[in-house]
Amino acid sequence: MPRITVDIDATASSTIRKSDDGASGRLTSQGWPVGHGRVPDTLDADGLPLDALVVMPEPALAGATVPAWPLGVLHRIAAESETAAPVLLCVAEDPSFIDLVDTPDLPRWHAEGDAWAAVLARLQHQAVGKVTACGTRAEAEHLISDAHHAYERLTGCLE
């Protein structure tokens, strides 16, 4: 699993949480914080660094850099019925998230697409459109690779 860093712009509370024990389905009282930021040295189709949401054990201050690994991709349709740029879903490097590694794990963590979209809407202070799907970790890794190559081509660092 590739390690990346995310430059955090803002952090918000979320409903993303795991059952206290697998048998009872009892939930923790609150969710993990989620940070919104950008993945350095990447470019999306609009020429901007990749947008990312990172679930983390503690809130991060704006300007912090958080080590993370990719979890999936949030696909959505914007309010104007156009496909919006995908948002990379990430997990901070922390033992608390050791069993959150791919999108099939999201239901156990109450972290399906709508939960991520709700946090994104709070962080961006605007509607984020309708979630159409959550892509897999492999799709996230492919997105990062393509965005990194786009950055290298633009900066002349491509060998």
pLDDT in the model for residue 24: 41
Query: What are the boundaries of each domain within the chain?
Result: 4-155
- Identify the pLDDT of residue 28: 46
- Give DSSP secondary structure letters for 58-112: S---TT-EEEEEEEEEEEEE-TTSSBPPPEEEEEES-GGGTT--SGGGGGGGT--
Site of tokens 């990062």: 144
pTM: 0.89
pLDDT digits (tens, 9 = 90+) for 59-95: 999 999 999 999 999 998 877 767 778 899 999 999 9
Q: Which CATH number fits domain 4-155: 2.60.120.10, 3.30.70.1450, 3.90.80.10, 3.30.70.2970?
A: 3.90.80.10
SS3 content of the chain, % helix, strand, coil (to 5): 25, 30, 45
Tokens of residue 31, six digits: 């969710």
Contact partners, residue 149, CB within 8 Å, separation at least 6: 158
| Model pLDDT for residues 94-136, shown as the tens digit of each residue | 998 998 999 999 999 999 999 999 999 999 887 888 888 999 9
The encoded tokens of residue 101 equal 């590694």
pLDDT at 23 over 50: no
CA distance 95 to 83: 35
Average pLDDT over residues 2-26: 78
